[in-house]
């Protein structure tokens, strides 16, 4: 807005600026663009009304925010909430693994509580173009104004440590990883999509290679990543690491290859 004001010579009331944060969950069959409530804000009442009129043509529920800053912070809160809770369940998954408990059974049992609980699920880390990035905008602003965001900072640390944790698990299964043939299954950040933005699987592959492993990966949705191509599922590996469980996968094709499931099933 200051740039527009400076370049145009107009006052703020002479032009309209609206903001509406994205709410999209890829492959979610229940919540799509039309039926997901849409937060809308504007620099003034006229801007807000114009934005409402536009989005109201194809979205069922419009939620007004009193300011653009409130709308942006709401978006950052949404993604920070998921970021912190996914990182938290990853820590619980590590604990359950050491105790010999299936964390998915724990989550299923806890989910029977009809209030005060929302299930999150473990994995290699947090990926996508929103969740691992947006909370850091909030954290950066908090540092600038002198407010603590310890939960976000700790969640970021846990998130970045998860690929290394699974490398350690692979070592516990195979011993020295040097020259061991490892297949990483699924490289997108989420099942049943081809999006690899901020995928933690990239770090997993890199760290396995640093340990001397001969790493291949399989993902028929992604097909090519960082100059490498997807390989077929086969029994020609010392270990398979299930990173992103796409629905199309037929793990029977691995034969007797041991599978390390990053989603918490030991």
Beta strands 228-229; 224-225: pairing state: antiparallel
User: Please, which residues bridge with residue 64 across strands?
Assistant: 40
| Active site (catalytic) residues | 130
Place of tokens 């793990």: 251
Q: Answer yes or no: are the C-beta atoms of 79 and 87 closer than 8 Å.
A: no
Within 8 A by CB and 6+ apart from 114, the residues are none
What distance in Å separates the CA atoms of residue 191 and residue 249, rounded to the nearest whole number? 10
Instruction: Name the strand (E) or helix (H) holding 260.
Output: strand 259-261
Within 8 A by CB and 6+ apart from 171, the residues are 177, 211
Q: Answer yes or no: are the C-beta atoms of 18 and 40 closer than 8 Å.
A: yes
Three-class SS state of 194: coil
Instruction: Give the tokens for residue 206.
Output: 């890199």
Helix crossing, 134-145 with 150-174: angle to 10°? 130
The values of phi and psi at residue 68, to 5°, are -60, -40
Question: Nearest to residue 237, comparing CAs of 184, 193, 200, 195?
Answer: 184
């Amino acid at each position: 807005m200051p740039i527009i004001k400076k370049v145009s010579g107009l006052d703020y009331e002479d032009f309209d600026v609206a903001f509406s944060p994205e709410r999209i969950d890829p492959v979610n069959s229940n919540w799509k663009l039309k039926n997901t409530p849409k937060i809308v804000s504007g620099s003034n009442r006229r801007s807000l009304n114009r934005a409402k009129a536009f989005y109201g043509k194809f979205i069922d529920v419009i939620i007004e925010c009193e300011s653009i800053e409130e709308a942006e912070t709401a978006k950052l809160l949404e993604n920070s909430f998921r970021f912190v809770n996914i990182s938290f369940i990853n820590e619980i998954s590590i604990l359950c693994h050491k105790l010999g408990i299936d964390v998915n059974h724990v989550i299923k049992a806890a989910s029977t509580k009809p209030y005060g609980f929302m299930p999150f699920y473990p994995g290699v880390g947090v990926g996508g173009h929103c969740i691992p990035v947006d909370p850091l905008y909030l954290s950066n602003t908090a540092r600038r104004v002198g407010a603590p965001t310890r939960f976000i900072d700790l969640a970021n640390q846990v998130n970045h440590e998860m690929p290394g944790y699974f490398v350690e698990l692979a070592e516990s299964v195979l011993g020295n990883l040097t020259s061991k043939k490892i297949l990483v299954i699924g490289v997108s950040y989420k099942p049943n999509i081809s999006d690899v933005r901020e995928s933690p699987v990239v770090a997993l592959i890199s760290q396995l290679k640093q340990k001397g492993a001969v790493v291949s990966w399989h993902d028929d949705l992604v097909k090519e990543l960082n100059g490498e191509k997807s390989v077929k599922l086969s029994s020609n590996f010392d270990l398979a690491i299930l990173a992103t469980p796409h629905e199309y996968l037929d793990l029977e094709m691995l034969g007797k290859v041991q599978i390390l499931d990053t989603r918490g099933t030991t």
